[in-house]
A and B are shown apart, each in its own frame.
Chain A
Amino acid sequence: MTHIEQLIDGVLKGDRRSIAKTITLIEDDMPESEKAISLLYPHTGKAFIVGMTGPPGSGKSTLIQKLVEELRRRGKTVGVVAVDPSSPFTGGAFLGDRVRMQELSIDEGVFIRSMATRGSLGALAKATKDAVKVLDASGKDVVVVETVGAGQSEVEIIKLAHTVVVVLAPGLGDDIQAIKAGIMEIGDIFVVNKADRENVNKAMIDIETMLNMNPEREKWRPPVVKTTAITGEGIAELLDKIDQHREYLEAGAIDTRRRQRVETELVEAIKEKVAESIVDELKQTGDLDKLVQRILAKETDPYSAADMLLDKRLKRFKRR
């Protein structure tokens, strides 16, 4: 057995060290990571994936701690992937989600991994997706993905989830915020956390009103759940709603979603590999550098240069 086969064998047996090492390979985008995914792939697709997103400070991590405890009470094993931002200046990151999940650290039925956003959005979405595959293949019943939700990037990442839970809290914004596009459109379930605070009903009404105005794209009308993560209030209800959404998906919508997801993944992989092979070749021949010089000298521009290159290289495809 090669090193990588051994590693994946460990993952499939649920060995925690192997799971951790494999996720690192994927995060670091090492050459072996593709081999790892291809070995894991046949064993994926069993876990139910829940995405949790929402603005900073809405209580996502604390809520996840309670949700995982409730899942454990119901006999489920759980994986958690918690994403926090990397510094755009130094590349470093402070990953603090575990602080709110301390009690879960030593539960054998739970595996938590913190991930930094690192480079580009596309790369992050891919690394998160693949980390979820590792936890899925390792036999976890449920995988929870946590991202800070502030805009488009989270929408990209959270697409991998079966059920998306958007976590909000009173006082984070008025009804104007609730009308904004982005995360408010992707929730399958909405949570108003910190329900012990003032204005919780106002927040509930704002979200309900927004949801009532949504065009009916699906039969599922996202419910709004009130929780107080610190005391555990509303957590069982939230999990019941997640189960209901799962039943709804399994009655039909899940196949369409799965097909869409696989298609997107394939298209992304093609784009990446094509771009990679062309850019690698350009670097080796020195053509990339020459073109950069020409663009700097204003003899051409990036778009024309790319067109020229692709015309030459893609001729063989076009001929068919």
Chain B
Amino acid sequence: MQPVDDILVQRAQQGDWEAFAALVERYQAKLYNYALRMVANREDAADITQEAFLRAYQALPRLRDNTVFITWLFRIATNILHDSYRRQTHYNLLMEEKITGEADVSASAEEQVVQKQQHQTLLQALAGLPAMYREPLVMRYISELTYEQIGNVLGLPIRTVETRIYRGKQKLRQACITWESG
């Protein structure tokens, strides 16, 4: 965790609006992408990001350890996601949606098409995973959290996080191969 976070959180706790805005600017993309890969709907992902920041702001005075802000924020978002899961039985997967990520500009047009197809396959396989595997995988590879941070977010020991990511990747491999051969 960078010390700048520590300072920003401290300032935000003292009521510095600019500091809170800077924290939003800093983490909105990570949180939005996490939510997006969990709910597979852009509008819901934006709503969850918004709700997570709102709850974080309201609970900011209670955050005693400023260095854990990002894991705390992700835990809030995860709890919102779990609440949403309880409220609605399933989410629509991103099957029919167009993947809008940026392609590698240095690659040729054909390579870009291939790359997009691979991304599509992988994202669909990811969306089909159970939440217990998808959560740590998305946090690791999309939001780029460390294993320790993921453990703190999910309240799990690091060994369990490693196991879930390993098993999740195994399932992804199988799913990708099945998609390809099918």
Bound pair: A and B? no
Chain B: residues with CB nearer than 8 A to chain A? none
